[in-house]
Amino acid sequence: MRIGLISDTHGDPLAWRKAVRLLEGCRMILHAGDHLYNGAFNPVLPSYSPSELARLMNESKAPILHVRGNCDSEVDQLALKDPILSPYIWVHLDGLDIMVVHGHQAEEGELARQAAGYGARWLVRGHTHIYGIREVEGVTVCNPGSPSLPKGDGIPTVGLLEGNVLSILELESGKPLLLKELEF
């Protein structure tokens, strides 16, 4: 099993292309929201092109499952072929139950409790643009960070679940920054 994790792409096709290279061969990609619009509080990057990013997402070889971020709108949905406006998605794959949310509507502990209440042992979330893997309320919480507008240490990242190893990868080199072995 190989699943790509991405969030907060914010209209950057250059970052998407780099991410797709790292996530090549994934069975699917889980996108935790904030797809096309840069957002009122983020800079407009020279590579910002929401229509180009929409085209690239629509042409993805791997299926992409999406959730709505706080910067996603009905207009963004018109540009993308897959549904992006669900507040959360639930994935059951190879014995692993995963809940995906953007994460802007509740604090992390509450999100983890919600995931646990649905029987998920793993939660993917975005919003902060800060990558991380941690245990919260008995749930493994993964934030893949942002490939285009990273915060915290400023390193652009994506996530990857390969077999039972969850990793955060540095976008430019593909080097793992964090690794966690999952039990399922």
Task: Decide if pLDDT at 71 tops 80.
Answer: yes
The per-residue pLDDT for 7 is 98
Res. 10: pLDDT tops 90: yes
**What pLDDT does 182 receive?**
86
CB 73 within 8 A of CB 50: no
d(CA 71, CA 89): 17
pLDDT at residue 34, as a whole number: 98
Q: What is the pLDDT of residues 132-171, one digit of tens each?
A: 999 998 999 999 999 999 999 999 999 999 999 999 999 9
Per-residue pLDDT at 95? 85
Report which DSSP code applies to 113: H
Average pLDDT over residues 82-101: 95
Q: Within its chain, how far is the Cα of 25 from the centroid? A: 17
Q: How much is the pLDDT for 94?
A: 85
Decide: residue 46, CB within 10 A, 0-12 exposed, 13-18 middle, 19+ buried.
exposed
pLDDT of residue 184: 72
Give pLDDT, residue 147: 98
pTM above 0.75, yes or no: yes
Domains of the chain: 2-181 (3.60.21.10)
